A and B are shown apart, each in its own frame.
Chain A
């Protein structure tokens, strides 16, 4: 079939890329223009150049543990189904019947080797193959099956440490190239499990905000806001995390390349030297976990792992690991975004996992305080940038004190906007 170019925003009638020129003028090294968050043409290009072109996090292998398990997932506004076939291979399929375009799967998750569209009964294998359809004489018999299309198959699907990413583009960098230094942050997360594996089995909260998706990406590693926006939950919970986001902190904000960024609090956790201090959980409350970690890694290494803690990393454009919880960012429109949130679970750590779920209920559950704090800021921010003056958002915090670490990454202090500048640099490359 002939592909139809629907990216009307790509070029104007003269054949020049006026939108690219405009985006170059809106995204500068030290500031961005407010319209970058509100312009529907910019959003349309983001879908084509970022969400439908680069690697996007889709789901975790632990969400489809058994053959023929499936879960509904998203790639931006696109509805997809992540399946594990009979042989154990993972596929990502477009959730759209090849007959009349109906959604084929409705349940959030299930177990099925084949899917039957409820509209006219077209039936597909969980690999996307068309298995058949009712009353096939209308198509000249079952031989027509070979001529008719199956479900759309997302062309590239790869996993790293169980984290499944997909790209709608048939060609491009490998997932490992895309992740770059961010891969090591997923390693850091996984080694907190005595078996080296993370499981996303705690269930999901979907939290929709009336805000542009980039507000969320920027905020995830903005170390300047926690002491203001989250002061109430820090004070109620007695958490010491807030104090780590200050100019006195040895924590750093780091640009990992590829638009990926992190707040690295491990220097502070090492200075404090308390195993599981990062999780606010004394060893005595999780004896089975601590014992399992020491048995798996040896006491010295296990204690280092438990002191260093979990990463706080934003993997562009949509996977955010915030120590104990995982966010998947999904844009629905230029001013509508869903955060899919779950408590991270470590395989082989039931006592720790119970506490992590409880903590996440308090932070990002339906009545959680942390996510609600941020959501309020996102929505206020979206309304704010629609105002006419001043037109620009400032990105200069800490630009004079940025430096390069031993690994060649640009770093700033815990509260500097190093991460935002890095994200926008990458965004500008992709969009123009």
Chain B
């Protein structure tokens, strides 16, 4: 496991091979929230346009979105 950290976030990164293939395990160490990314998802991130990454960094798009929009609403890329 490796830690990727700066003053704004701290995330642990490890390769998880418990399944039938390998995947990346990311954990936000400040909250314990975990996301797994498989190879195709990682490749897609590598190829994603810069505007997509900028949109991802908008706090209102995920963790701090307004409650009335609903917890399951996919919001990235729209207002």
Contacts and interface: CB of A to CB of B under 8 A. Distances in A.
Nearest to B64: A134
* Interface of chain B, main secondary structure: loop
A134 B8 contact: no
B59 A134 contact: yes
Contacts of B50: 86
Q: How large is the interface on B (under 10, 10 to 19, 20 to 34, 35 or more residues)?
A: 20 to 34
Interface stretch (A112-120, A157-165, A300-308): A112-120
A107 B7 contact: yes
B79 A131 contact: no
B60 A142 contact: yes
A123 interface: yes
A79 interface: no
B54 A125 contact: yes
B60 A112 contact: no
A110 B7 contact: yes
Nearest to A139: B60
Given A106-B7, A110-B7, A141-B79, A123 B68 contact: no
Contacts of B8: 112, 114-116
A426 interface: no
A135 B64 contact: yes
Interface residues of A, number: 27
* Interface of chain A, main secondary structure: mixed
B6 A136 contact: no
Contacts of B58: 123, 131-133, 136, 142, 145
Nearest to A108: B7
A113 B9 CA distance: 12
B57 interface: yes
A123 B7 contact: no
B2 interface: no
A131 B57 contact: yes
Contacts of A432: none
Contact of B57 (A86, A132, A138, A141): A132
B68 A137 contact: yes
A283 to B, nearest CB: 43
Given A107-B6, A134-B64, A116 B59 contact: yes
Interface string B1-35: 00000111100000000000000000000000000
A391 B78 CA distance: 68
Given A105-B7, A106-B7, A133 B60 contact: yes
Given A114-B57, A123-B57, A143-B79, A135 B7 contact: no
A135 B64 CA distance: 6
A110 B66 CA distance: 31
Given A121-B64, A142-B79, A133 B6 contact: no
B36 interface: no
A136 B7 contact: no
A313 B68 CA distance: 63
A121 B64 CA distance: 9
5 contacts: A107-B6, A114-B8, A121-B64, A135-B66, A136-B79
Closest 8 CB pairs of A and B: A132-B58, A134-B64, A136-B60, A137-B66, A141-B79, A107-B7, A134-B59, A142-B79
Interface of A: 86, 105-107, 110-116, 121, 123, 125, 129, 131-138, 141-143, 145
